[in-house]
């Protein structure tokens, strides 16, 4: 927000950042707040605490951040206000459960954190965002509160304060060997399926990257060599983003693969695209390595099954 002033800052060459991906929920049956849906990323991290100019409320400041991030190519993962991110009886949820604000008592860090640990819950707001990059993805979280205590940091009540975190992840070095059609055939014969990591897509898109062509060529060769083979082309994602959003994206990506193979002369009656979002992980989604393993396309032998 234009005119904002930093009143505390921290950085680390390598650290983790936890981001909320959905609103907070109260479980009456359990008598407690349910854990946030979240994701933890690792990389170079910067944390800044800002004072927003007087007269700009939490909502206006949040919309400014939302617009600026979108203009810079970020995907908004989650955005929420008030009881969606804090509850009157169980405050500190973002501060303690997501941002792990546990500064040593009496230090500048602890003093900067205090207004965020004890906010006016009704005015709290939070957003998380992601931007893909060739050298690695960048994740951002923005936590906004209205100062609730006039004597802390000598700030007036209702002044908007912002904690802004950015984590630059490093792209995993990919040394994936090309899976040949013979290997695909053997794996499918043995296990009924094969997971492929050589099909890459543009960020937040079903557009297939050019470097995927070698793998797609081997799939076409497999189907040409096995004329009776019919397959499900199954798209899988990680947990970054909502389940429904990823289900749509994974379906579109599976359809892109089918279209590519059809253009290579494979009959569409042998190919059935399916998107399953993050319903079938092969690794934990709590780490970047695990999420990378979960982002894949699988070929599944229909073995006489029918899609109607």
Which structural domains are found in the chain, ordered by start?
5-168 (3.40.1000), 181-301 (3.30.1330.60)
Calpha distance 212→224 (Å, rounded): 19
* More confident: 278 or 86: 278
Mean pLDDT confidence for 21-35: 65
Calpha distance 212→199 (Å, rounded): 5
Supply the pLDDT for residue 122: 80
Mean pLDDT confidence for 3-32: 82
Sorting pLDDT into bands at 50, 70 and 90, what band is 89? very low
Supply the pLDDT for residue 180: 94
Sorting pLDDT into bands at 50, 70 and 90, what band is 150? low
Structure tokens at 186: 């053997």
Supply the pLDDT for residue 121: 77
Burial of 285 (0-12, 13-18, 19+ CB in 10 A): middle
Supply the pLDDT for residue 308: 63
Question: E strand or H helix at 106, and its extent?
Answer: none
Structure tokens at 243: 């389940």
Supply the pLDDT for residue 279: 96
**Does 73 have pLDDT greater than 60?**
yes
Question: E strand or H helix at 213, and its extent?
Answer: helix 213-225
Mean pLDDT confidence for 266-281: 96
Supply the pLDDT for residue 148: 81
Mean pLDDT confidence for 136-141: 91
């Amino acid at each position: 927000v234009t005119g904002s002033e930093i009143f505390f800052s921290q950085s680390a060459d390598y650290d983790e950042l936890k981001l909320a991906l959905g609103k907070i929920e109260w479980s009456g049956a359990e008598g407690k707040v349910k854990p946030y849906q979240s994701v933890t990323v690792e990389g170079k991290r910067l944390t800044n605490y800002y004072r927003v100019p007087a007269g700009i409320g939490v909502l206006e400041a949040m919309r400014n951040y939302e617009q600026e991030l979108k203009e810079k190519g970020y995907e908004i993962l989650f955005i929420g206000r008030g009881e969606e991110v804090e509850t009157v009886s169980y405050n500190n949820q973002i501060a303690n459960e997501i941002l792990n604000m546990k500064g040593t008592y009496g230090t500048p860090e602890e003093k900067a954190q205090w207004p965020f640990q004890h906010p006016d819950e009704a005015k709290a707001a939070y957003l998380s965002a992601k931007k893909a990059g060739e050298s690695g993805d960048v994740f951002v979280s923005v936590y906004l509160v209205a100062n609730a205590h006039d004597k802390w940091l000598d700030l007036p009540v209702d002044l908007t304060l912002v904690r802004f975190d950015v984590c630059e992840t490093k792209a995993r070095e990919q040394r994936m060997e090309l899976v040949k059609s013979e290997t695909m055939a053997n794996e499918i014969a043995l296990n009924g399926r094969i997971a492929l990591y050589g099909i890459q897509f543009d960020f937040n898109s079903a557009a297939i990257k050019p470097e995927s062509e070698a793998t797609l060529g081997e799939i076409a060769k497999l189907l040409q060599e096995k004329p009776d083979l019919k397959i499900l082309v199954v798209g899988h994602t990680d947990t970054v983003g909502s389940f429904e959003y990823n289900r749509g994206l994974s379906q579109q990506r599976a359809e892109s693969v089918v279209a590519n193979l059809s253009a290579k002369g494979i009959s569409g009656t042998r190919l059935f695209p399916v998107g399953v979002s993050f319903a079938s992980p092969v690794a934990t989604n709590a780490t970047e390595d695990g999420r990378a393993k979960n982002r894949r396309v699988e070929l599944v032998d229909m073995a006489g099954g029918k899609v109607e």
